[in-house]
Amino acid sequence: MNVLPFTRPSIDEATIAGVAEVLRSGWITSGPQVKAFEAALSKRCGGRAVRAFCSGTAALEVGLRLAGVGPGHEVVTSPLSWVATANVVLETGARPVFADVDPRTRNLDLAAAEAAMSPATRAIIPVDLAGLPVDRDALGALAARRGLRVVEDAAQSFGASWKGRPLGAFGDLVAFSFHANKNVTTGEGGALVLPDPALAPTCEKLRLQGVVRTGEDGMEVDLLGGKWNLTDIAARIGLGQLARLEEFTARRRTLARLYFAQWDRALGCELPPEDFEQSNWHMFQVVLPADRPRARFIARMRELGIAVGAHYPAMHLFALYRHLGWREGQFPHAERIGRSIATLPLFPAMADADVARVCEAARKALA
């Protein structure tokens, strides 16, 4: 049987032809396409400086470094995210500190985040799970009150907005991901929006081995950087994708509306907040009733021709984080949602009829 995936990128023929041109051009690593991609991203982020990376993870880590995060610091974040969110904190030598999520939005509960802060807290990483923005007004107020830097994990929320302003166009440091599953993809890739263009030279150094070139043959290294540049091949995919961002977001919103219209409320699942203005609908996720094991639901849905994802288990319960002292019972909302959240198919090329198929299969699977 043809299984409906939970996501699939939409790469058009013009983009494929553009990538072929790059491959024939003789310059395939970071070059003119990356510059053009960064300029196009900057335009979407209110003209702010943007630098492209080989992953969202790299963008987040450089964001933390630019925020001055390092050994002895704590960074408060959500346990309900892709594990990259906390792993990058460990990479800087700082300590990730988790706080529970709001069960309605599934995003970091900012009151719980504030309660988890200590004098060592240097920064906060809000995560826009499934593309639903964290309250940017409350976030900005909290950061100002506590004197904290913010590194927005907007990996899933490119194309989303807050009160009419695109994410990335305001705030402190903002990291996007262009991983294959994201609304806009470069295969693998990411970007970091800078609050001040004066940070760009250091950002570029951190991105590529700390190297600064001058004149015809000058080279200096005065800090340790990574190897985190994006290729021109990837950037050309991104340029083709960016041109279709509005179309993609609109289609995702339409599909999300169809889910709300057709989902059987009697199944007892928790639906996401009905936000058709701000969320980019990166994922459509339901939380299953506690007596319906997710693994069984996933297996049954597959039999019915529907792929279902699990994004994400609460990360403080991974062995790496348990070894750092985190344990079960600390974040009941994140733990419950992490056990029972299920990602249903949603991607621009999906047909309206596919939503009906998913809803019907779920009715059978949960019966």
Provide φ and ψ at 340, rounded to 5°: -120, 0
Q: How far apart are CA 83 and CA 102, in angstroms?
A: 19
**What is the smallest separation between the CB atom of 175 and ligand PLP, expressed in angstroms?**
7
- Which among 210, 214, 207, 218 has a CA at the least distance from the CA of 30? 207
Mind telling me the catalytic residues?
A: 182
In the bound state with ligand PLP, the residue whose beta carbon lies nearer, of 33 and 81, is 81
Q: How far is the C-alpha of 133 from the C-alpha of 167, rounded, in Å?
A: 8
The answer to whether residues 19 and 237 touch, using CB atoms and an 8 Å cutoff, is yes
Chain positions contacting ligand PLP, by CB under 6 A: 55-57, 81-82, 84-85, 127, 153, 155-156, 177, 179, 190
Which residue of the chain is nearest ligand PLP when measured via CB?
A: 56
Nearer to ligand PLP, 272 or 366 (CB): 272
Work out the end-to-end distance of the chain between its first and last CA atoms, rounded to an integer number of angstroms: 22
Q: CB of 56: closest distance to ligand PLP in angstroms?
A: 3
Q: Residue 350 Cβ, how far from ligand PLP at the closest point, in Å?
A: 20
119, 165, 106, 128: which is closest to 146 by C-alpha?
Answer: 119
In the bound complex, what is the minimum distance in angstroms from residue 118's beta carbon to ligand PLP? 24
Tokens 């540049």 sit on residue: 229
Q: Which is nearer to ligand PLP, 191 or 308 (CB)?
A: 191
Q: Which is nearer to ligand PLP, 33 or 77 (by Cβ)?
A: 77
3-class secondary-structure state, position 1: coil
- Helical (H) or strand (E) element with 303: helix 294-303
